[in-house]
């Protein structure tokens, strides 16, 4: 169980002229979103950044935003519980279904089959048709897909946003969906159309890209600590457990490839080492993550 040492301090921050700009025209907001996406592309593909973990955290943020759009009270803690504490045969509920859709949308390389798996109530043919509805530059294409889906099925916000992010990823040449639109949107943005929706999409992408670059740097730092702590772990199966933490937003001890007692001890040891965090603040039914 060996890991190469990484230098997360080499990750370049988003330039200040992007983070501090106040654009008002379509031309200006489009320029800023393009610059932000280009920087995000460079940073997110750095070897220091845990790709799977980053996408999982963004899926959680997108799910949190979508539940807020419809006035539901669930936030990150409740969404994690909705999936990780399910018993066999239980249903995750509306908020859990939203989170599950986003989680599945980022798990596999973008394809109609993968998107249908994330949105099982929508036929594969319809997914393909909507995904092809956009034309032009990446954000413009995403906005067109978003508007088309919402025009056809006005209450399917999650499906529309997943497919819009998928269209954006495809236009940028990314293999996986990176949820950007939902976390950057205001609730009223989803009811806009035409140029106003395009402006909202550019602003959402810029806002999210800035946050994702910061998140990527934070996750690079946290995963570096975990990799440095790994050689101090003696439990059989600890290496596989570390690999799971490097790829998953949150894990219950029961999900680890160790006996229950050993898994709990390993999680406590990782917390003591500062390598992972206990995410719930509870004494029982705990969840852990980088």
Task: Give the angle subtended at the CA of 285 by the CAs of 282 and 290, to the nearest 5°.
Answer: 75
Tokens of 3: 């890991």
CB 180 within 8 A of CB 202: no
pLDDT of residue 212: 98
The tokens 């550019």 sit on which residue?
202
pLDDT of residue 115: 98
pLDDT of residue 9: 59
Domain count for the chain, please give it.
Answer: 2
Residues 238 and 209 both lie in one domain: no
Q: What is the mean pLDDT of residues 121-146?
A: 97
Interatomic CA distance for residues 243 and 220, integer angstroms: 14
Residues 92 and 141 both lie in one domain: yes
Residues 107 and 161 both lie in one domain: yes
Query: Does 148 have pLDDT greater than 50?
Result: yes
Residues 135 and 238 both lie in one domain: no
pLDDT of residue 38: 98
- Closest alpha carbon to 171 in 143, 193, 209: 143
Give percent of the chain above pLDDT 70: 97
Q: Which of 168, 196, 219 is the last residue of a domain?
A: 219
Residues 74 and 211 both lie in one domain: yes
Domain assignment present for residue 37? The answer is yes
- What are the tens digits of pLDDT across the range 48-83? 999 999 999 999 999 999 999 999 999 999 999 999
- What are the tens digits of pLDDT across the range 226-285? 999 999 998 889 999 999 999 999 999 999 999 999 999 999 999 999 999 999 999 999
- What are the tens digits of pLDDT across the range 159-177? 999 999 999 999 999 999 9
Domain assignment present for residue 7? The answer is no
Q: Which of 171, 189, 219 is the last residue of a domain?
A: 219
List CB contacts of 25: < 8 A, sequence separation 6 or more.
none
Residues 252 and 202 both lie in one domain: no
Query: Does 5 have pLDDT greater than 70?
Result: no
Residues 113 and 195 both lie in one domain: yes
Residues 85 and 62 both lie in one domain: yes
Domain assignment present for residue 2? The answer is no
List CB contacts of 49: < 8 A, sequence separation 6 or more.
11, 43, 216, 219, 220
Residues 170 and 48 both lie in one domain: yes
- What are the tens digits of pLDDT across the range 78-126? 999 999 998 878 889 999 999 999 999 999 999 999 999 999 999 999 9
Residues 201 and 243 both lie in one domain: no
Residues 171 and 67 both lie in one domain: yes
Domain limits at 164? 23-219
Residues 274 and 130 both lie in one domain: no
- Closest alpha carbon to 113 in 98, 138, 131: 131
CATH value at residue 255: 1.10.10
């Amino acid at each position: 169980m060996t890991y190469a040492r990484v230098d997360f301090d080499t990750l370049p921050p988003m330039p200040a002229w992007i983070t501090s700009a106040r654009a008002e025209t379509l031309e200006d907001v489009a320029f800023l979103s393009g610059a932000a996406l280009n920087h995000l592309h460079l940073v997110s593909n750095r070897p220091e950044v845990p790709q799977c973990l980053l996408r999982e955290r963004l899926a959680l943020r997108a799910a949190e935003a979508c539940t807020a759009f419809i006035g539901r009270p669930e936030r990150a803690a409740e969404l994690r519980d909705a999936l990780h504490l399910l018993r066999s045969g239980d249903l995750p509920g509306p908020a859990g279904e939203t989170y599950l859709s986003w989680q599945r949308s980022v798990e596999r390389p973008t394809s109609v089959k993968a998107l249908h798996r994330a949105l099982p109530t929508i036929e594969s043919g319809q997914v393909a048709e909507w995904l092809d509805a956009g034309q032009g530059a990446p954000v413009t294409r995403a906005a067109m897909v978003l508007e088309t889906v919402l025009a056809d099925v006005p209450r399917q916000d999650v499906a529309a946003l997943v497919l819009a992010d998928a269209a954006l990823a495809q236009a940028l040449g990314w293999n996986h969906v990176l949820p950007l639109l939902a976390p950057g949107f205001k609730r009223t943005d989803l009811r806009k159309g035409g140029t106003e929706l395009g402006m909202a999409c550019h602003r959402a992408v810029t806002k999210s890209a800035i946050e994702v670059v910061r998140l990527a740097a934070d996750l690079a730092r946290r995963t570096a600590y975990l990799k440095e702590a790994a050689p101090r772990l003696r439990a059989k199966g600890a290496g596989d457990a570390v690999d799971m933490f490097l790829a998953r937003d949150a894990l219950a001890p029961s999900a680890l490839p160790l006996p229950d007692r050993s898994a709990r001890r390993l999680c406590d040891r990782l917390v003591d080492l500062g390598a992972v965090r206990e995410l719930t603040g509870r004494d029982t039914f705990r969840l852990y993550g980088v």
